[in-house]
Amino acid sequence: MVQEESAMHSYTVQRSLDGVNWSEIGKVYALNSQGHHSYYVYDHHRPAGISYYRLQLTDSKGQSTLSSVVQVDNSPAKTVSVKGATLVKTNLSLQVYSPNADVYSVRLYSMQGQLLAQKTIYHRRGQQSTECRVAFAPTRCLVCIDHHQ
């Protein structure tokens, strides 16, 4: 999710099984226009167990920066997906889908790795809407949803 962007070229999602060796799983190109933008990358080949994810942000001059690393448990019974996410001022609205009724943690991070908001979702089977409140609207952020520990 991006609230304001300018001079950006692309956002690349990377995955690692060990936190050291990284591979690209998807890339989206920046729109560089006014307003809020949501970009999505789905990990079609996510391995079972623990994986690590990060974003590579590349600007229009080819300079890249990396986000902090987020650990995700991809165990089959813990699979959850976000169908839609929109950040408006201080509200993050999510459309979450899960085949199982379970408890999930939603965490919103700044690109510097600072935890901005956290919420526990008591999810019913199927699709459900939820909102997270944040103290301020960051220009770029990373949403992580995983099984509640």
Handedness of CA 128, 132, 137, 138 (dihedral sign): negative
Predicted pLDDT at 100 = 73
How does pLDDT run across 11-27, given as a tens digit for each residue?
899 999 998 999 999 89
Whether the model clears a pTM of 0.85, i.e. scores above it, the answer is no
C-alpha to C-alpha distance for 123 and 51, rounded to whole angstroms: 23
Residue with the bigger pLDDT between 37 and 121: it is 121
20 exposure class (CB count in 10 Å sphere: 0-12, 13-18, 19+): exposed
The pLDDT tens digits for 55-107 are 898 999 999 988 888 877 776 655 556 555 555 556 666 767 777 777 877 77
Structure tokens at 22: 């990284």
Q: Please, are residues 146 and 80 in contact by the beta-carbon 8 Å criterion? A: yes
